[in-house]
Amino acid sequence: GAVVSQHPSWVICKSGTSVKIECRSLDFQATTMFWYRQFPKQSLMLMATSNEGSKATYEQGVEKDKFLINHASLTLSTLTVTSAHPEDSSFYICSARSGLAGFTDTQYFGPGTRLTVL
């Protein structure tokens, strides 16, 4: 149980284009989803927290207009990198947390999406 998927697993795009990454909880309802960014050989950096049906809460220094997050349902959140540039190239990982009592203490992570901007 507690499986989280991401699509696509990798994407290459041209500078200036937008890329959408999907994060799905496959066997549970995720009231909260989190988006992280990981640079090579580094730890995860939290970008934003999203609750179903609400606007995402962005961490300090993360451009909300560049990284659009939507959490329209209890099983799906999307991250759109708008007008991507080479410096946006990174490994993006989402996680999801159930809202059920007794299951709210753990985040379950997706397999990640490798974004390369040319």
Partner 1 sequence: AQSVTQLGSHVSVSEGALVLLRCNYSSSVPPYLFWYVQYPNQGLQLLLKYTTGATLVKGINGFEAEFKKSETSFHLTKPSAHMSDAAEYFCAVRPEGDDKIIFGKGTRLHILP
Applying CB under 8 A, which residues contact partner 1?
4, 6, 32, 34, 42-44, 46, 49, 91, 93, 95, 105-112, 114
Between 44 and 68, CB nearer to partner 1: 44
Instruction: Quote the least distance from Cβ 15 to partner 1, whole Å.
Output: 23
Instruction: Quote the least distance from Cβ 82 to partner 1, whole Å.
Output: 23
Between 57 and 83, CB nearer to partner 1: 57
Cβ density class 28-41: b for 16+ within 10 Å, e for less? bebbbbbbbbeeee
Q: How far apart are the first and last CA of the chain?
A: 37
Provide the H-helix boundaries in 2-118: none
